[in-house]
Amino acid sequence: MKKTLIVLSIFTLFLGGCATYYNPITAKQETTIYTEQDEIDLGIALDNKLCKDFKIVENPETIFKGFYQTCAKVAENSDRKNLKFTFKVIENKEVNAFSIPGGFVYVYTGLLKQINSADELACVVGHEIGHICNRDGIHQLEKQLLYSIPTSILFGSGRQKALQQVADTVFTLSMLSYSRTQEIQADTLGMKYAFKAGFDPYGMISFFKKMEELEKNQPLIPLTFLRDHPETKERIKNAEQVIEKLAREKQIN
């Protein structure tokens, strides 16, 4: 997920120091600078900015019937059931979707119009929910914070000064570009959530194959969703392995 033209400012972050939280995906206690409430507050601030910079579709159901219901089902079966998820559609011809910390997921009309089934939508949205559940965006922001501010300031007496520096720093969505490992994991989580919600995880593969065809036959269509992700063939191979695993688990249970 990368959108360098979007400039997002962090207005206020109330960080009382490092905190720990249980990551249900890794099944481990992890240390974080941003508490869950910080994450939510940040997401709200960024969402307000996004809604001013982009045209938000008022009724996505006219483009894809059952959009909200499908998204909600996947979120309800995610690893962060207690987090309030918000789904919005942006009027833009690019084939893209992205998420920001705090439970906010955005789908471009260019992508939504390429989706033919609830299964495909569930897997694509599930991918973005996966990033949120694993706090990938927060991890990226923490890296940026630690690289830009000396640790002695961040955790010492100059902490308030450091936080002010963060508040004054301009962030772009390019800072939330994810690694190959994070993207593959988000695919895996997305399919898992979609499957638990009653959708066919093969929707991920059918969507990827459709994107491959668009790349070959309509190269002028901006496929931003694939641009910063691992090779599509690699993602299809991973998706096939995930489907096999989900099928085995279903038989066992």
Decide: residue 46, CB within 10 A, 0-12 exposed, 13-18 middle, 19+ buried.
buried
Assess whether pLDDT exceeds 50 at residue 144. Answer: yes
What pLDDT is stored for residue 90 in this prediction?
Answer: 97
Domain positions in the chain are 7-252
Which of these, 75, 70, 161, lies nearest to 119 by C-alpha position?
A: 70
Which whole number is the average pLDDT over 65-77? Answer: 98
Residue % of the chain over a pLDDT of 90: 49
Q: Which residue has the higher pLDDT, 128 or 21?
A: 128
What pLDDT is stored for residue 218 in this prediction?
Answer: 67
Assess whether pLDDT exceeds 50 at residue 170. Answer: no
What pLDDT is stored for residue 14 in this prediction?
Answer: 38
Decide: residue 207, CB within 10 A, 0-12 exposed, 13-18 middle, 19+ buried.
buried
Q: pLDDT-based confidence at 48, cuts 50/70/90?
A: confident
What pLDDT is stored for residue 224 in this prediction?
Answer: 56
Q: Which residue has the higher pLDDT, 47 or 3?
A: 47
For 25, 127, 228, 229, the CA distances from 184, given in Å and listed in that order, are 14, 9, 12, 9
The rounded distance, in Å, linking the Cα atoms of 50 and 47 is 5
DSSP string covering 52-113: HHSPBPS-GGGTSTTHHHHHHHHHHTSS-TTSPPEEEEE--SS--EEEETTTEEEEEHHHHT
Q: Which residue has the higher pLDDT, 132 or 164?
A: 132
- Which tokens belong to 96? 């893209």
Q: pLDDT-based confidence at 250, cuts 50/70/90?
A: confident
What pLDDT is stored for residue 149 in this prediction?
Answer: 52
What pLDDT is stored for residue 148 in this prediction?
Answer: 55
Which whole number is the average pLDDT over 81-109? Answer: 95
What pLDDT is stored for residue 20 in this prediction?
Answer: 84
Assess whether pLDDT exceeds 50 at residue 13. Answer: no
Least confident of 56-60, 65-69, 98-102, 169-173: 169-173
Which whole number is the average pLDDT over 85-95? Answer: 96
What pLDDT is stored for residue 229 in this prediction?
Answer: 59
What pLDDT is stored for residue 223 in this prediction?
Answer: 54
Which whole number is the average pLDDT over 135-158? Answer: 65
